[in-house]
Amino acid sequence: MSEPSPGLETLNYSLPGQRPAGAFAPVLVGVVGSGNLEVLLEPAAGMQCDIRIETSARGFGAIWEAVVRDFHRRHPLAGVRVSVNDMGATPAVVSLRLEQAVSELAP
Amino acid sequence: MTLNIAVSYAECSARERLALIVDRGSFHEWLPPAERVTSPHLAQLGVPCAFDDGVAIGRATLSSRPIFIAAQEGEFMGGGVGEVHGAKLVGLLRRALRDRPDAVLLLAESGGVRLHEANAGLIAVSEVMRALLDVRAAGIPVIVLIGGSNGCFGGMGIVARCADRVVMSDVGRLAMSGPEVIEASHGVDEFDARDRALVWRTTGGKHRWLSGDCDVLVEDDVAAFRAAAIDALDASAPVTLKRLEDEHALLAARLRLLPDAVDGDEAVALWARLGVADAARVPDMDVDAVRALRVV
């Protein structure tokens, strides 16, 4: 196996949404600290839910995808851009932060 | 019936503190996270950026009066001041000179310069000091609140002492070199950074209160910090020759109190020689009791 190259890993997902989020003020939850992450939700045009992740933990793409798909199953948001800055959070922490962000969207 | 349960200032994030210190819903942020004004340096080092570069700045009202406010996030890079982080603080202070709010609040939590950004961070901190002193000279009080678990160290420790007023909780810490830095440079015999009681005796809020380095000592309670900030709104103290001479006299007197090595704990010895009654019991006392002991 080759050495992982230094630097961040960027992951992008675009999932078809079903529940339009409408207009809302951007939501930020969490902090980029050790084992933690921040999640920014912003409104976007279209019916997609676009998710962009920047993480210092390289090589965990399959786990990120599982966490993202699980999140999207619970909250099939449409017209939303989700941006994540991650410093090695565990999948459970990532799920909780995503859940927290959605809970702060105006009902 | 309303339950009034104290909210720990130390355990809040920077944004939680912001929301609770100012009048409810009054904070308007400049360069918010969605603007993505982030560090140009961290990605090259494989470190993720934060959308706000670890500091939130903006305007708000406090007790219905207009203020500017900044809050550093200690969990991101230890609150370290990088290029963008520092530029946001400088921009806030310079805008205060133009718009003249009633005060500028700085919710400081920082290990000082963000070493990843080296020279850019050092320059940023010096620019923050210059901008802060300009605001102070203009008669707009700069009020620094210190109570985060990462303390206020390095360049930000100097910035804090440039301000008109410093408010600390007993769990807050304020110093130049942090405990690990002293141990690394002078050895564990000089300073054992793992000795938490020693760290708080020499940098904590009680010590800063008793030695005259902070102006207000409060409990680790967001409401207490808010009340102290409101009290400080008219506490402008421009730097004058007399104020500088008084400060020098205070420091010279402190130096004379401990001329040689002392037996036992140096912090306790200093408090005793300052005239603090029952100095040995200070670490075990609650904030109210310690507040009554100050003699400087």
Q: CATH code at B63?
A: 3.90.226.10
**Chain B interface with A: residues with Cβ < 8 Å:** 13, 15, 32-34, 43-44, 46-52, 73, 75-76
- Widest pairwise Cα distance in chain B: 58
Asked if A54 is an interface residue toward chain B (Cβ–Cβ < 8 A), one would say yes
Band of residue B261 on the pLDDT scale cut at 50, 70, 90: confident
A38-84 per-position pLDDT tens digit: 999 999 999 999 999 999 999 999 999 999 999 999 999 999 999 99
Q: Report how far residue B165's alpha carbon sits from residue B103's, in angstroms, rounded to the nearest whole number.
A: 11
pLDDT at A1 > cutoff 60: no
- From A87, which residue of chain B is nearest by alpha-carbon distance? B48
For residue B106, being part of any structural domain is answered with yes
Q: With CB atoms and an 8 Å threshold, state whether A85 touches B13.
A: no
| A10's tokens | 């960027």
Q: In whole numbers, what is the pLDDT of chain B averaged over residues?
A: 95
Q: Report how far residue A5's alpha carbon sits from residue B47's, in angstroms, rounded to the nearest whole number.
A: 13
pLDDT, average across residues B255-274: 88
What integer pLDDT is reported at residue B262 of this predicted model?
Answer: 82
pLDDT, average across residues B226-255: 93
What integer pLDDT is reported at residue A4 of this predicted model?
Answer: 45
| A86's tokens | 């991650």
* Complete domains list, chain A, with CATH: 10-103 (3.30.230)
Facing residue for A8 by CB, picked from B13, B46, B50: B46
Mutation for testing the B interface, residue in A3, A85, A86, A93 having most B CBs under 10 Å: A85
CA-CA-CA-CA dihedral for A106, B2, B8, B9, to nearest 10: 70
B14-60 per-position pLDDT tens digit: 999 999 999 999 999 999 999 999 999 999 899 999 999 999 999 99
Helices (H), ranges, chain B:
14-21, 83-99, 118-137, 154-161, 179-186, 196-203, 205-211, 222-231, 241-257, 266-274, 287-291
Contacts of A6 in chain B (CB under 8 A): 46
Question: Does pTM top 0.90 for this prediction?
Answer: yes
What integer pLDDT is reported at residue A7 of this predicted model?
Answer: 84
Question: CA of B70, closest CA in chain A: separation in Å?
Answer: 16
B86 CB contacts (<8 Å, ≥6 apart)?
Answer: B120, B121, B123, B124, B125, B127, B128
């793992």: which residue's tokens? Answer: B194
Facing residue for A6 by CB, picked from B15, B46, B52: B46
Residue B84 belongs to domain spanning: 14-174+214-236
What integer pLDDT is reported at residue B3 of this predicted model?
Answer: 65
H or E segment at B87? helix B83-99
What integer pLDDT is reported at residue B264 of this predicted model?
Answer: 83
pLDDT, average across residues B79-89: 97
Q: Report how far residue B2's alpha carbon sits from residue A37's, in angstroms, rounded to the nearest whole number.
A: 34
Band of residue A106 on the pLDDT scale cut at 50, 70, 90: low
Closest CA to B109 of B141, B77, B136: B77
Q: Report how far residue B60's alpha carbon sits from residue B15's, in angstroms, rounded to the nearest whole number.
A: 13
Q: Report how far residue A88's alpha carbon sits from residue B178's, in angstroms, rounded to the nearest whole number.
A: 26
pLDDT, average across residues B193-203: 95
Facing residue for B13 by CB, picked from A7, A31, A87: A31
Q: In whole numbers, what is the pLDDT of chain A averaged over residues?
A: 93
Tally the domains of chain B: 1
Contacts of B34 in chain A (CB under 8 A): 26, 40, 42
